Amino acid sequence: MKLKIIVLLFALLNWSQSWSQNIILQSPNKKIITGLHVADLNTKGECYLQVSYKVNQIIEIIPKINLGILRSDQDFSKELRFLKATKPKLINDRYELPFGKKSVRENSANEITVFFENPSKAKLNLIIRTYNDGITFRYEFPEKKGSFIINDELTAYQIPKENKRWLEKWNPANEGLYASSSDDKILQQEWCYPALFNSSDKSCWFLLHEADLNRTYCGTKLSNTTDINTYKLTFPDQQDARGTGESKPKISLPWKSPWRVITIGSLGAIVESTLIDDVSTPTAFKTTDWVKPGKVSWNYWSSNHGTKDYKIVCKFTDLALEMNWPYTLLDWEWDAMANGGNLEDALKYIHSKGIKPLMWYNSGGDHTWVPSTPKDRMLTHKNRVEEFTKLKKLGVAGVKVDFFESEKQDMINYYLDILEDAAQFEIMVYFHGCIVPRGWSRTYPNLMTYEAVRGAEWYNNGPDFSTTAPEHNTILPFTRNVVGAMDYTPVTFTSSQFPHHTSYGHELALSVLFESPFQHFADRPEGYYQLPDEAKNFLKEVPTTWDATKLIDGYPGKDVIMARRKGGSWYIGGISASEREELTKEIKLDFLDEGIDYRAVVIADGKHDKAFSFQVLEVNKDKTIEVKLLRRGGFVISLIPINK
């Protein structure tokens, strides 16, 4: 280990003088080190990446990342010849988004491009960036002509078995549970993104994902079926989407792959990172003034066929009005609405209350077995233009499109077609039964949120979620919600088909912990009307977009406390997964601005899981707040500056 460290540092010091056997690229803050190993830079040989992280000393966190691509015409893997590498150049990302965990994004990286050729003299470039919070790399075919099939991508992450990991078994809807494992408990199967790992010495965390996926490729997943300690990128299964579409992507030169992304650092650095967006293509939208995030009332969770019923639609419109939420969603079956009115009557009622409607669509086509209507209206460009023209006239602000069931290249094109056509009509979009975020919201800021999570809807699918939700909820802020908006449809107090085991305080905290620009509050109206004024007011006021995010405390599967800022105000949410112990947490407020006093409203668990406790305090950055959590409990705190 010490010898490896010396070699790495020697190569860094001598970068400008000569190439070492390891090409080294450090992050601007010098904490992350990427090494590209080539067997012999003057001859043919295998190349791979190594990743190290500097805390008090340099530790190797990923000993080997296999590289290579098998194209339909030839092999770009084992017999690559190194040609040259560029000098490092500094990448500075600074941009703004109208939503997300941060409004202003800033990140820096050092980048090199390494040039190879195979025995046929065909060219392959490897572009590597080492950011302050991770590394990214992508392949490039620079030649100007040719169309090919990618038969396989050989990218594979070798992870020591001692590393603890949190992984979700692969499923096309990305709606499974995360499970932790290490050592002899590791399973061999296919896995969803993102995948979280903790180094064996506990000092470093890293999250595997991909970003800037576009029309030129398919989505990938991870598989350790061949080697238990190596997670290889794999293409979609051919049987996905009822066998429609091709699992292997077709490319035309010149071509670049999606970025392969490893977010690296402390657990707080993982949670706060925007690396997936940082490396994605900036938007070409001329304006995003029409993109309006906000809270939504949603009738499906409590009334499966709710949108068929005009009176239920009106009740949820009234709920949005009472709670100062700008939107209500008309979910499936709005085309069969009855019991006092039809769609046009409902839209008229919604608009009369100053609320904006959102509407659900089945993605349609042969790729989905789901017959729910309306179906096929998003399927072709002609269909979409006709439908979006109608929706614009009807004053509909956004559409929810469901049941994609594949990450093949044709489905990636379908997602992006919907986003591009909707943008022409200034209509916002969100996806359900769908892909995990890949950075598209930076490119298409009308993409408000994604499902791709086992959310509150699963209380209706069986009894298992009642017992698994407390732990699941404490894992999501460190995994799925790190990489993009997550439509969990949270904050439900009453029971649907199966009951909660979480406390009311736990449920309320999800409004802060789970980030989504469209935040669908899923409970029935009486679930919110029965709340004490303090809790009700919190749900009226809590934002759905943030200027800053900070992890205060937590560990996946145990508990999490997170603070988010909007303007000068902070909101804190915390939950516990503990089945046995009540917790007492002391929350340091050292992240607050110097010299400002804040009015803190603390809403925490009460005497039992359906009760709250309340306190109002005057605090500043030198203070701490003590909060008690019941088993599976939670709390929220609002911190509003006091004008003196």
**DSSP for 430-491, written as a single string:** EESS-PPP-SHHHH-TTEEEE--S--GGGGGT-THHHHHHHHHHHHGGGTGGGSS-------
State yes or no: pLDDT of 4 exceeds 50: no
State yes or no: pLDDT of 2 exceeds 60: no
Q: Locate 509 and state its tokens.
A: 């905290």
Domain with CATH 2.70.98.10 in the chain: 2-278
pTM: 0.95
Element (H, E) at 189: none
Q: What is the pLDDT of residue 7?
A: 38
255: Cβ contacts below 8 Å, ≥ 6 apart: 140, 141, 216
Q: How far is CA 365 from the centre of its chain?
A: 27
**Contact criterion met (CB below 8 Å) for 516 and 482:** no
List alpha helices for 360-426, DSSP H: 381-394, 409-424
For range 446-451, the mean pLDDT: 98
2-278: which CATH topology? Beta-galactosidase; Chain A, domain 5 (2.70.98)
55: nearest Cα among 165, 201, 157, 207? 201
Q: Could you please report the per-residue DSSP string of 512-524? A: HHS--SEEEE-S-
Structure confidence at residue 336 as a pLDDT band (50, 70, 90): very high
Domain with CATH 2.60.40.1180 in the chain: 561-641
State yes or no: pLDDT of 468 exceeds 90: yes
Pick the CATH number of 561-641 from 3.40.50.150, 3.20.80.10, 2.60.40.1180, 3.40.50.1980: 2.60.40.1180
Give the CA dihedral 150, 151, 153, 158, nearest 10 degrees.
180
Q: What is the pLDDT of residue 55?
A: 86
Domain with CATH 3.20.20.70 in the chain: 294-545
For range 290-307, the mean pLDDT: 96
294-545: which CATH topology? TIM Barrel (3.20.20)
Structure confidence at residue 643 as a pLDDT band (50, 70, 90): confident
245: nearest Cα among 402, 71, 407, 363? 407
Q: What is the pLDDT of residue 46?
A: 80
> pLDDT tens-digit profile of 97-137?
999 999 999 999 999 999 999 999 999 999 999 999 999 99
**Contact criterion met (CB below 8 Å) for 52 and 61:** yes
202: Cβ contacts below 8 Å, ≥ 6 apart: none
